[in-house]
Structure formats: C-alpha cells, structure tokens
C-alpha cells in the first residue's frame, strides 16, 4: 500500500537537490502530476512542507523548474462557488512557498511574473488581515532586484492599496511590516510611470506616518522603521509633479517636522549603534537636504509660503542650530531659493544675516577647532545664500559691514586659497557681488592694510584695519588679498577669472565712475600705483580668455571708462595696454575688437625686413606723421565716440556687442593716442593710427547700416 502523499513529500524533502538537481527536479515533476487539485486541505499541508524546504537555496531552483511553483500559482486564491475563501490555509501556505522560492532567484521571479497571477493575487490577499503579512513579504521578495515585477506591481496600482493600508483603519494590521511595505514602495519609484499612477498624496501620507502626527501607531516608531518611511517619501518626492502637489496642498510643514525628528529623536551621536545604521541616518538626512533645495525651487513655492510664513520662520530658526548642521544646510539652500528677487532678499536680510554670518565666521580656517568648523558642504551653502542676498544694491553695504569689514571674507580667501577650489570660487564670487556698484564696499577692500602686528581684530583676521596674517602685512589691501589668493592656478581657472572680474568689473568700474570713493586724487593715484600689477593682470586675464565674450566686452568697456574719465584712470589704462607681461595679448584683443583684424599687431610691431617694407609701403605718400595723426584724430572726433555700456538685452545680441566693443576700443585707443603719443614708439603710434583709421571707417559703415559683421 503506497504511503500517503504527505509522507511521500516528507521523504522527498530529506534529499539533497544540491548533489543531483536533475534527479530531484524529475521527482518533483512526477509529484506535481499526483497532487490532488481538488483536495485543497491536502494541498495546504503539502505546500507548508515545501514552504519550509524553499528556505534552502538548492530546493528553490528545483521547485521552480519542476513546475511546482506554477502549479501553486494556479491554485490560489481559493474560491468555493465563486466566493473567495480568505481563511483557507492553502492561501497562506502557497504564499509562503512563492515568497521563499523567490528569494535571490530571478528564474522563479520570472515564473511568477509570467503567470500574470501576481497582482490580482496580492490585491486579494492584502485585503485579509491574517494574509497581509505573507502578501507583503511575497511582494517584496518578488520585486527586489527584479524590474519586471516592480513594473507589474506599479502598473496594477498596488502602491494605492499600500497607501490606503497605512493611512486607513487597517494600519495596526500592517504595523509590524512597515519596513517591508516601505521597501516595496521605494522599489516602485524606480519606474517613471509610478509617479503618474500613485496617489498624489503619497508623500504626505508617508511623512504623516513618519512623524506619527495623529498618534495612530500602537507604539513609537523605532529608528529603522522611521528611516524606511522617510526614504520612501523622499523617493516619491524626487518627482516634480508630486513636489508641486505637495507644495500646493501646504504639506511643507510635514517635511520640516520629519527632518527635525531625524535629529531630535533618532540622532546616533553618543549611542552604541551599528555603523550601518549611522550611515543610513546620514544618508536620509542628506536626502532631506537635497529635497529642501529642490522643492523650494518649485515654481510658485514663494507664493504659497511667503517670507513672513511660519514655515519660512522655521527655516530662519534652523540657521542658528549649530548642533544640527544639516538643518542649517537645508535652511541656507531653501532660503537662498526664496531670495530670488530684490524684494524678498531685502526682507530676508535683517532676519537671516546674523545666522548666516555666524556660519561663515566659524568656517574661517583657524577660527575654531577643526572638529567645530562647519562642513565644506554647509560653508558652500552659506556662501551661495550670501551671494543671493548680495545682489540687491540696498543689501550690499549691510553685508559689507558683516563680511568685509569684519574680516570674515578676507579670512576665507586666505584660508581656502588653492586648497579648496570650489570654496574659493564661491568666496571670491561673493566678494565680487558685494563690490559691484557699491562705493562703500569698494572703499573697504581698497583701504590699506595696517602693518602693525598688534592691530588684529578680535578674531585675529585680516580686515580693512589689520593684517590678514596678524604680523607684517603680506597684502596691501583686502582687494590685493582677494586677487593673489585666487590667482595661483592656471589662467583658465574660473576662480582667477572671477577674481579678475572683481578687480575690473567691480572696483575699477566704480573708481572710474566715482573717483572720489578713495578720497583725494592723490589717494586714487597711489592706489593705482600700488595695485598696477593686479589691475593689469586682471585686464589681461579677461581680455585674453576666449570662452566668455561678455567678460572680454566688460574689460574693454571699463578700460574705455578709465581712459576717458580722469587722468589717474588714463595713466592706469596706458599701463594695462603696455604691460610687458602680456602686451601682445592685450593689444591683439583691443585691435581685433576695433578692427576685426587679428594680424595688425604682428604686422606693425613684429620684427624683420617684411615688417619694415610693409610699413614703408603703408607710409608712402604720408611722410608727415604729425599731419597723419591730426587727420586720424579729426576722423575719430567727428564720429563723436563715447564709452558705450551695453544693457542686458544688447549683451544677448552678438552683432550688437561687436559694435559696442569696437566703439569702446576706439575710445580707449584714441584717448591714449591723444594723451601719450609722445611716449609711444613710432611703430606703436603707427599701429594706433592705423587701428583708429580702419576702426573709424567701420563705425561709419555701422552707422550707415552697411557694415557686414
């Protein structure tokens, strides 16, 4: 008499399929033909046996290849007379087999997905409290590392089923399996289609659960579950559409509260926790920071949350929380996004200035102990925030007092140098913005640094009154410090270019338009004399780079202003043009701007017989140099040239900028010829005259509308 089927299965499962997988596969395939499809009670017992066996990786492969997995998928959910029998044990045991068989086994996952039974089965089983845990585990095991399963589950809108579970009356039924549910939801966000299928309220529902706002949980969340919920919420909130819904429905407070709780309730400092847990917490907190930067950049955020709103007030308060640097980081990024208009930044500055300055003050190398300094990430965020605040003209003098006169920016320039390129660029860029159009700040950075060793400020930092190094002054002014700290890198270094723009586009422009900024003309002359090297170097950097035409145009404009406004500026402009270190490059840039010709400089100032012969040919019939100079000067004067300053619209029109650059270059060259012709060599004077003549003809054509640019 044959053994009962349950006993036969027990004997089979004592085997070792790892040794002879083909044999055991054949055995199970035969067994499947004997299984009683109609005796569901017997099937439940047998399935329970295979559920235990499927914990062994060697049995998983055999269970899939033998057809047993497909057989069980066909037997559940259990129905009698068309009615779902959720309480029948076969449902549970079959789920256990499927869940265990799919652990680390893509072939079995493929079988489950190909059956087309997965999603309907899960929907049925998730509706039953006693089956819910097994359905969740099955869904997770099938979806992990298997994109096809994730997509199938997503397309079936199972995320809505899960969100209904955690936000509805059945929360207690799934409370023990929240980590697994959150992992499934996170996996679904690997597919762009999920963001269109899910509830728009999904992130808010998750964050509401994370902070336990409604006290619906039977016990407080532990760290692991909290982090899994936050990770899932952050995964959904990467989507712009969900971000907009989140903001429009005023859920931003939930995000702030969850981020705050990650510190107040779950910070691991001083606790004996595993390193993996610490890293997971840091990763989640970093994800929050990134999201704060993204979500506050959503169009319309400022309309929903005005500068005076409670949520913005919370961000302002975070700036002062030194113990929670990621909160400070998020605040800098978010508030920086809010400060996108002059009106908003002017309203923000009185509220945030002190907190922002404290962060930057503690970032100065040597200011505080190494472990107490803000991270580079926070420092960079604070610098970016300060740059936004520095754009409105009304804010510049206030920030100048906070950051320039205090020596904080000088300390950052000197401390970062070339060791932290991204930090240095941000610090130099902030300095440039503070100087643009602000005579008070220009005066601060151009004021001589004292050489007295006892004239340090209370922090020992460089300021307008003291040495940046606390002893004999290494730098003549803080402008000198800015430039020299930023220019130790190759010419193409963006930090060097930014420093050059600070010197030229900010300081030299202000001094040209308002020479009284530094006091008397003697003080201006002394400044130009002591800073001629960095001024000439800055113009050279801007004029000889080819990447940014607008930067080159700005340098030409400022040179023209300097040459035409006052004698001190004219002398400085001549030094720039005659700077022996980069004479040819600067001259070529100016001559090309005036005439469009790349080769005139070499033709007139080169060496060899060809140059002499060419000069003689060009001078034939014009032996009287004074007469020629007079004729050229009359031509230029007749054009009525004045320094041109292009507006933002003109800067977007390349053809228009060519004409602006031409006129500015001609203004500069004409002024230099008129004032310094006796100091010029014959070859240089002939070059200048030829440039003015050719450039003047082009201007005439421009004005007639016949110039082909």
DSSP state of 374: P
- Give pTM, 2 decimals: 0.86
pLDDT at 20: 80
pLDDT at 500: 96
- Give the Å distances, CA to CA, from 195 to 140, 168, 455: 19, 21, 61
User: What does the pLDDT average to over 58-68?
Assistant: 93
Integer Cα distance of 501 and 540 in angstroms: 11
Q: Nearest 5°: phi and psi at 569? A: -70, -35
User: What does the pLDDT average to over 646-663?
Assistant: 81
- In 3D, which of 170, 164, 204, 163 has the Cα closest to residue 184? 163
- What token pair was written down for 502? 């600070």
Name the average pLDDT for the chain: 87
SS3 492: coil
- 375-416 pLDDT, tens digit each: 999 999 999 999 999 999 999 999 999 999 999 999 999 988
Cis peptide before 77 (omega within 30 of 0): yes
- Quickly count: other Cβ atoms within 10 Å of residue 106's Cβ: 12
Integer Cα distance of 215 and 209 in angstroms: 9
How would residue 303 be classed by pLDDT, with cut points 50, 70 and 90? very high
Could you identify the residue written with the tokens 């193409």?
A: 492
DSSP run (H or E) holding 84: strand 83-84
Integer Cα distance of 521 and 349 in angstroms: 35
- 680-695 pLDDT, tens digit each: 888 888 888 899 989 9
Task: Give the contacts of 439 (CB within 8 A, at least 6 positions apart).
Answer: 510, 514, 517
pLDDT at 674: 83
pLDDT at 14: 86
537 and 501 in contact (C-beta within 8 Å)?
A: no
Integer Cα distance of 66 and 60 in angstroms: 10
pLDDT at 46: 92
- 99-125 pLDDT, tens digit each: 999 999 999 999 999 999 999 999 999
Q: 485-499 burial string, b = 16+ CB within 10 Å, else e?
A: bbbeeeeebbbbbbb
User: Given its phi and psi angles, is residue 253 left (phi above 0), alpha (psi -120 to 50 degrees) or beta?
Assistant: alpha
pLDDT at 492: 58
- In 3D, which of 631, 643, 635 has the Cα closest to residue 563? 643
SS3 466: strand
Report which listed range, 6-10, 186-190, 209-213, is most confident: 186-190
SS3 438: coil
pLDDT at 637: 65
- Quickly count: other Cβ atoms within 10 Å of residue 4's Cβ: 11
456 and 470 in contact (C-beta within 8 Å)?
A: yes
Beta bridge partners of 84: 79
For residue 467, pLDDT over 60 is answered with: no
108 and 94 in contact (C-beta within 8 Å)?
A: no
């Amino acid at each position: 008499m044959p053994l009962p089927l349950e006993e036969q299965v027990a004997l089979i499962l004592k085997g070792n399929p790892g040794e002879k997988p083909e044999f055991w596969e054949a055995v199970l395939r035969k067994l499947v033909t004997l299984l009683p499809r109609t005796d569901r009670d017997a099937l439940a017992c047998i399935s329970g046996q295979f559920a235990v066996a499927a914990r062994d990786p060697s049995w998983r492969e055999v269970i899939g290849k033998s057809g047993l997995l497909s057989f069980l998928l066909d037997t559940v959910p259990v129905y009698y007379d068309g009615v779902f029998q959720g309480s029948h044990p076969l449902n549970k045991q079959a789920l256990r087999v499927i869940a265990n068989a799919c652990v680390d086994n893509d072939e079995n996952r493929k079988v489950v997905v190909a059956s087309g039974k997965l999603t309907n089965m899960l929907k049925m089983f998730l509706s039953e409290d006693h089956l819910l845990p097994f359905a969740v585990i099955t869904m997770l095991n099938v979806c992990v590392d298997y994109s096809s399963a994730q997509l199938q589950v997503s397309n079936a809108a199972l995320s809505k089923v899960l969100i209904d579970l955690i936000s509805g009356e059945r929360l207690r039924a799934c409370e023990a399996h929240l980590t697994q549910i959150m992992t499934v939801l996170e996996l679904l966000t690997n597919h762009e289609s999920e963001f269109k299928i899910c509830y728009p309220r999904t992130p808010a529902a998750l964050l509401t659960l994370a902070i336990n706002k409604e006290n619906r949980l039977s016990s407080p969340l532990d760290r692991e579950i909290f982090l899994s919920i936050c990770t899932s919420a952050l995964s959904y909130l990467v989507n712009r559409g969900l971000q907009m819904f989140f903001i429009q429905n005023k859920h931003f407070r939930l995000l702030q509260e969850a981020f705050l709780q990650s510190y107040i309730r779950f910070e691991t400092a001083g606790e004996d926790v595993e390193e993996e847990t610490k890293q997971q917490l840091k990763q989640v907190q970093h994800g929050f920071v990134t999201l704060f930067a993204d979500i506050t950049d959503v169009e319309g955020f400022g309309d929903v949350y005005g500068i005076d709103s409670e949520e913005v007030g919370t961000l302002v308060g975070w700036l002062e929380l030194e113990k929670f640097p990621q909160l400070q980081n998020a605040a800098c990024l978010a508030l920086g996004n809010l400060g996108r208009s002059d009106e908003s930044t002017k309203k923000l500055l009185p509220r945030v200035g002190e907190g922002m300055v404290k962060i930057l003050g503690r970032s100065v190398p040597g200011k505080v102990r190494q472990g107490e300094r803000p991270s580079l990430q926070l420092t960079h965020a604070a610098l970016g925030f300060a740059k936004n605040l520095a754009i409105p003209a009304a804010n510049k003098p206030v920030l100048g007092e906070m950051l320039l006169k205090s020596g904080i920016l000088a300390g950052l320039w000197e401390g970062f140098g070339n060791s932290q390129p991204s930090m240095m660029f941000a610090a130099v860029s902030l300095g440039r913005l503070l100087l643009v159009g602000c005579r008070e700040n220009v005066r601060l950075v151009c004021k001589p640094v004292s050489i007295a060793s006892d004239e340090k400020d209370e922090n020992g930092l460089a300021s307008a009154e003291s040495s940046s190094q606390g002893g004999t002054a290494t730098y003549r002014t803080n402008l000198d410090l800015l430039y020299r700290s930023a220019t130790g890198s190759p010419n193409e270094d963006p930090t060097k270019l930014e420093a050059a723009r600070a010197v030229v586009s900010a300081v030299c422009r202000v001094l040209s338009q308002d020479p009284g900024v530094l006091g008397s003309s003697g003080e201006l002359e002394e400044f130009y004399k002591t800073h001629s090297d960095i001024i000439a170097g800055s113009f050279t950097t801007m004029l000889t780079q080819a990447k940014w035409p607008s930067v080159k145009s700005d340098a030409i404009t400022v040179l023209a202003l300097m040459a035409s406004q006052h004698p001190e500026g004219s002398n400085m402009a001549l030094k720039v043009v005659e700077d022996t270190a980069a004479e040819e490059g600067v001259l070529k840039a100016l001559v090309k701007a005036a005439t469009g010709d790349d080769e005139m400089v070499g033709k007139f100032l080169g060496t060899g017989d060809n140059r002499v012969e060419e000069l003689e040919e060009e001078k034939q019939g014009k032996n009287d140099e004074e007469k020629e100079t007079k004729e050229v000067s009359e031509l230029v004067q007749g054009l009525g040239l004045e320094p041109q300053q292009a507006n933002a619209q003109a800067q977007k029109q390349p053809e228009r900028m060519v004409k602006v650059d031409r006129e500015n270059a001609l203004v500069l060259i004409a002024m230099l010829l008129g004032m310094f012709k006796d100091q010029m060599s014959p070859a240089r004077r002939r070059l200048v005259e030829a440039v003015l003549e050719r450039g003047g003809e082009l201007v005439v054509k421009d004005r007639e509308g016949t110039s082909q640019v």
